[in-house]
Amino acid sequence: MPAISSNSSYQINKGINAAIQFKGLQAQYIWYMGGAAVVLMIIYAILYVSGVNSFACVGIITALGIPTIMGIYHLSSSYGEHGLTKAFARRGLPKTVRSNSRVVFKKLKTSGYGKAV
């Protein structure tokens, strides 16, 4: 019987209706990490093709990649699955609504239980 080598396997889902979590990243942050990896590979390819020394390319990509990865992990841990979307939505709402006239409210016709028609 041949010896079976132990391949590393990663657990992605932890249960039914649970958010996808991989190595501490939750939900959309997995996609952000993948996008960051693709962008870093493209930057590396551009630097390498343009004639920059390969060690310098690796140094530049490392210098760009580490803060990017740390930033994505920070967003994932501080905002969670839906928190970043909620934060952007909250930023889009006005803090106050000002009206100089009551005409808008007088034009509303109410019928039963205060609902506007």
Model confidence over 72-81: pLDDT tens digits?
Answer: 888 887 777 7
Residue partners of 71: CB distance under 8 A and separation at least 6:
none
Q: Which residue, chain included where needed, has tokens 């590979």?
A: 41
Residue 116 has pLDDT above 60, yes or no: no
pTM of the predicted protein model:
0.58
In-domain check, residue 104: no
In-domain check, residue 54: yes
Residue partners of 81: CB distance under 8 A and separation at least 6:
19, 26, 27, 28
In-domain check, residue 46: yes
Coil vs helix vs strand at 4 = coil
In-domain check, residue 102: no
In-domain check, residue 49: yes
Residue span of the structural domain in which 71 resides: 21-90
Under the banding of pLDDT at 50, 70 and 90, the label for residue 2 is: low
In-domain check, residue 107: no
Instruction: Report how far residue 65's alpha carbon sits from residue 20's, in angstroms, rounded to the nearest whole number.
Output: 23
In-domain check, residue 55: yes
Model confidence over 14-25: pLDDT tens digits?
Answer: 566 666 666 767
Residue 8 has pLDDT above 60, yes or no: yes
In-domain check, residue 16: no
Strands (E), 2-117: 21-22, 25-26
